[in-house]
Structure 1
Amino acid sequence: MVRVRFAPSPTGPLHLGGIRTALFNYLFAKKNGGKFILRIEDTDRKRFNKKSESYILETLKWCKIEPDEGVGYGGPYFPYYQSKRGSIYRFYLSKLLKKGLAYYAFDTDHDLNSIRKKYLNKGSTFSYNASVRKNLKNSLTMTKKELKTQFRSGNSYVIRFKIKPGDKVEMYDLIRGIIVINTDNLDDKILFKSDGTATYHLANTIDDHLMKITHVIRGEEWLPSMSLHLLMYKAFNWNPPNFAHLPLILKNDGKGKISKRFINNLDYPIFPLKWKDSENKDILGFRELGYFPDAFVNMLALLGWNPGTKKEIFSLQELSKLFSLEKVNKSSVFFNIKKANWFNKQYLKNKKEEIFSHLSLELKKRSIFSTKNYIYKVIDCIINRIHFIHEIWKHSFYFFIGPISYDYSFFNQICYKKTIDRLDNWKKLLLSIHPYTSINLKSFFDKENNKRKMMQIFRLSLVGSIKGYDLIIILKMIGKEECIHRIDRLIKKIRKKLE
């Protein structure tokens, strides 16, 4: 059975890249009748944030991509927290030590920093590997007696994985194909830290094996670690899972990948839900800004995956049937906020009841009564002009009440006695229209020599701006009496300005 996992670190909020990784794992599991597991990889205790776990769970629930097993859901491989699996890691680590595939290293931070500076001064980069470890303070260079002395003295140490030099690791990535790495280019990664906890590399490899993970689908940033993880599987004599590394999501300006480190420099959201920063300020997410979860997931699915058709709108169920790793891009993808808004707009068209509830509430707050039928007519007029439910009042208020202000620039252009005279004349003509139909209203404007200017002035009086919905429809819907009332208000405003 296919088993995949989403294994975030609880060091902060998920961003677009993280939740996309969860989505692709979920879709792959559903497509193949498998299981989607949530595991919390909390080995980094220094950066641990206690709010992260609830944020992760709430995000998955909002996106409707809930796990089948794992943190918050239970399952046969409890516990699903790496911080609670220390004894398991130590047991398997002892096996590597006995095989001579891992070793103790007693080099202090001061020692290593001094060496790094020397390499830097020579224009090269220090790597703790086979060529230098024989000259450093580790169990490979010590006698048994010296090693015992180190332990008795209580000196801190780490445990490193021993990379065999001169070998080639042939790797197969389900998205990128065959990749070959020379072990001479790898360093002896730390598996066990001086604080007594396992590193990501050790914990991740052991957990994936014990939890029977068949496919590891993760971000491209983990591609350099793939060779190490495969070597560790070999060291344990375990069959490795299949690997697939997803493309990076880049900022739309092309200047690097989307990262929560630069959230303050972005003018669009990258978090699915709201998050409080270190100063307790709210950073709004897609949910709080009015995006629908199904629109958000649809947009996210097409960030790096292409179904091979022109169709872009897919339900979660459709995505689960269509998804395949073969159609995931190798190259990085650009995030476009305008496209995200477009997706929301497509889903908005089927949310008329929600829009009705929101608009009804706006009317109630202002003590405005309107019939259900009229409100739905307004929604039908405006729905193609908005991307979010909360925009409905801004774009439709003039169907219910007159403007409280006028476009400053255009108002000043028409602020003359001549405009008042023209408005008075148009009022009389408007009053004489009978029956008050769209055809007669159109004829009313067609008779004017400067039709464009006339319609702009009318729109200003009705809407407060020279932009808005079809003027004839506005005139027809609000009625003749309300139109006259709004024209009178504009006349008074111009007179007051002239005084």
Structure 2
Amino acid sequence: MRRFYSTLKPRKKLSILSKKNVQLNTPARTRFAPSPTGFLHMGSLRTALYNYLLAKHTGGQFLLRLEDTDQKRLIKGAENNIYESLKWCGLNWDEGPIVGGPHEPYRQSDRSLIYQKYTDKLIKSNNAYRCFCSKTRLDGLRESAQKLTPPTTVSYDRNCAHLSKEESSERAKSGELFTVRFKSPGKYPKFNDLLHGNLDLQPQVNKDDVRYDDFVLMKSDNLPTYHFANVIDDHLMKISHVIRGEEWLPSTPKHIALYSALGWEPPQFIHIPLLTSTKDKKLSKRSGDIDVMNFAKKGILPEALINFVSLFGWSPKNKDSNSEVLDLNQLVKAFDINDLTKGNAKVEDKKLYFFNKTYLLKRMENNDKEIFNQGYELLSANFPDLTKDRSDELIKTVGHNLTTIQEITEYGYLISLDYSNDHTEKFLGSHNLNESRFILSKFQHLENIEEIDSIINSLKISKKDVFKTLRFALAASKPGLNIPSLVKFLGIETTNYRLEKGLEIIESKLNNTSI
């Protein structure tokens, strides 16, 4: 990222903009404009979500646009992944690919004639010019700019800006390769960001060797750069508010200068903070910014992920923990840009799993077919004779213990029990087996489940030891489900069988025979 001088003060950690009181009196038109150069990740999902929430909260429209002009970096399957991820999260777009709209096409690679029209307009008005400089010359200019004292982050010397329009046109007609550069102003205008306030961002320059921030608008392959295409498209698609990552702040003066050169009013800008790890490092694929659909594969529910991501730079007015549990419809109602936060957002999975557990339990309480079908599919893969009714009963029994539906496989011992595991090894190696044998002998041949409580109360043995022995026999010492729930699910017949089996194993161990 280029270094810019700025009026931004040192960032305060999660400082709420309560003083700004931004009032939105008209419906907002927002857009999410990803590049299909990779799969949709959590950081991009947050950008899409905030744009969606602002549009829907104000009764406006949310657009999807594909910025695919960097053809060399496109990834196979990335475009479909973007569609799949947004739909899975419930972020349906009002205009864009697939659904269409009045401003088609919504894929930038299909809009070349539009960009050419405005390129010609800027050249004609002397706000842009063709640049015929070779890559070697441009590389040399960048290197020399870095060697200046102080070094400058802008490097072009406007060599081609001095060509006459006639010469420039003739060279282009002869087939000579060129780019089109914007003739940047001597000083960028100040601008207002709805989150950061009034900003004055200027590129670092060297007064003794003047270079210019004349960025490229059209590449030599006749495709636009991000800076150019996004300004043209946002204006033509009537975008009123642009919410994007803070890393785009240094580019905003360029965009506003372009709007000015074209005689257009820029949209309102909101630059949201970076996502960082708990160690304050920017999130990457290696440090937690995971592909959205990978969350789905891990059993994370879309409403949990959306709720989790919504809090990366925004905080609801109420601060108690229950007020943060908000589904998408509730987020639309609660979202207010005055509650956006400035400080970097630390991503910690603990809250994601809290949300997932909460929403999973809600779904099970509402007898959500999707959840019960997923659970059955997971269980029946290991237990093909398991009926759907029995699977549903199991899920209801252990549901309050689950964080994701994938964890249901950990409760396979309720269907079929294998005593060969680390838990039983630990139990058999650390407990008084004579006492355990005595305990289990008292629970043989039960006629009904209610007998268990009376037997426990009659024993003059620590209840802790009694429960550990019962858990060994009934669940192969696996934790998670309390004894009453365990017995209720197993039923009297299976309970008796396992109590008898547990006693046999302990007696074999005491007799030094193999289990």
Do they superpose with TM above 0.5?
yes
Where structure 2 has 5 or more consecutive residues not aligned to the other structure, the ranges are 1-26, 206-211
- CA contact 1:171–1:178 (8 Å) conserved in 2: yes
Asked if residue 431 in structure 1 is aligned to residue 431 in structure 2, the reply is: no
Map residues 212-223 of structure 1 onto 2, 5 A cutoff: 212-223=238-249
1:218-367 pair list within 5 angstroms: 218-255=244-281, 257-259=282-284, 263=285, 265-266=286-287, 270-273=290-293, 285-309=294-318, 310=320, 311-352=323-364, 353=367, 354=369, 355-361=371-377, 362=379, 366=383
2:48 corresponds to 1:16: no
Within 5 A, what are the aligned runs for 1:336-415?
336-352=348-364, 353=367, 354=369, 355-361=371-377, 362=379, 366=383, 372=389, 378-394=394-410, 396-407=411-422, 410-411=426-427, 413-414=429-430
Structure 1 residue 485: Cα displacement: 2.7
Tell me, yes or no, if structure 1 residue 95 matches structure 2 residue 136: no
Q: Residues of 1 paired with 2:241 and 2:276: CA distance?
A: 25
Aligned length: 469
The alpha-carbon deviation at position 80 of structure 1 amounts to 1.1
Displacement after TM superposition at 1:169 (Å): 1.4
Distance 1:441 1:269, change over 3 A: farther
Q: Structure 1: state its 5+ residue gaps.
A: 274-284
> Residue 442 of structure 2 aligns to a residue in which SS?
helix
- The Cα RMSD (Å) is 2.8
Partners of 2:421 and 2:153 in 1: how far apart? 68
Deviation at 1:118, TM superposition (A): 3.1
Secondary structure in 2 matching 1:169: coil
1:170 aligned partner: 190
Give distance in 2, aligned partners of 1:458 and 1:47.
60
The letter for the 2-side match of 1:155 is: E
Highest relative contact order (Cα 8 Å, sep 6+), 1 or 2? 2
Matched with 2:175 is 154
Say if 1:363 and 1:18 are closer, same or farther in 2 by CA, change over 3 A: closer
Q: CA deviation at 1:202?
A: 1.1
Task: Indicate which of 136, 157, 170 corresponds to 1:110.
Answer: 136
Q: How many angstroms does 1:107 deviate by?
A: 1.9
- CA deviation string 1:315-364 (max 9, x = no partner): 21111111121111111101111211111100011222345444545258
Q: Normalized against structure 2, the TM-score is what? A: 0.83
SS in 1 for 2:278: coil
After TM superposition, the structure 1 stretch with the greater mean CA deviation from structure 2, 114-123 or 79-88, is 114-123
Task: Choose 60-69 or 424-433, whichever is displaced more.
Answer: 424-433
Cα shift at 1:105: 1.8
Q: CA deviation at 1:14?
A: 1.0
Moved more, 98-107 or 111-120: 111-120
Question: Is the 1:139–1:147 Cα contact (8 Å) retained in structure 2?
Answer: no
The CA distance in 1 between the partners of 2:445 and 2:497, in whole Å, is 15
For 1:280, the equivalent position in structure 2 comes to none
Q: Mark the CA change 1:351 to 1:379 in structure 2 (over 3 Å): closer, same or farther.
A: same
Identity %: 33
**Aligned partners of 1:329 and 1:493: how far apart in 2?**
64
Q: TM-score, normalised by structure 1?
A: 0.85
Q: Is contact 1:442–1:472 with CA below 8 Å preserved after alignment?
A: no
Distance in 1 between the 2:292 and 2:402 partners?
Answer: 21
SS in 2 for 1:439: helix
- What is the aligned partner in structure 2 of residue 208 from structure 1? 234
Q: Deviations over 1:196-235 (max 9, x none)?
A: 1111111111111111111111121211111111111111
Q: Is the 8 A contact 2:153 2:204 kept in 1?
A: no
Find the aligned partners of 1:127 and 1:424 in 2 and give their Cα distance.
79
